[in-house]
Amino acid sequence: MGIRAFAEPFLAAPDRSDLVLLSAIATRHSKAVK
């Protein structure tokens, strides 16, 4: 829910390293929720 809003600036950014970082954060977050 909040992740999508948090991810928007990263998805808009052309730098792919940001997407890798975001992916790692999202993975950690999903593991923490479970």
Domain ranges of the chain: 2-33
Q: What is the pLDDT averaged over residues 3-26?
A: 74
pLDDT at 34 over 70: no
Q: Is 34 helix (H, G, I), strand (E, B) or coil?
A: coil
Rounded (5°) CA angle 25-28-31: 150
- Check pLDDT > 60 for residue 7: yes
pLDDT for residue 32: 76
The Cα angle at residue 28 between residues 4 and 6, in degrees rounded to 5: 20
pTM: 0.40
Q: Which residue has the higher pLDDT, 24 or 1?
A: 24
Q: Given this model, what pLDDT does residue 28 score? A: 87
Q: How confident is the model at residue 5 (pLDDT cuts 50, 70, 90)?
A: confident
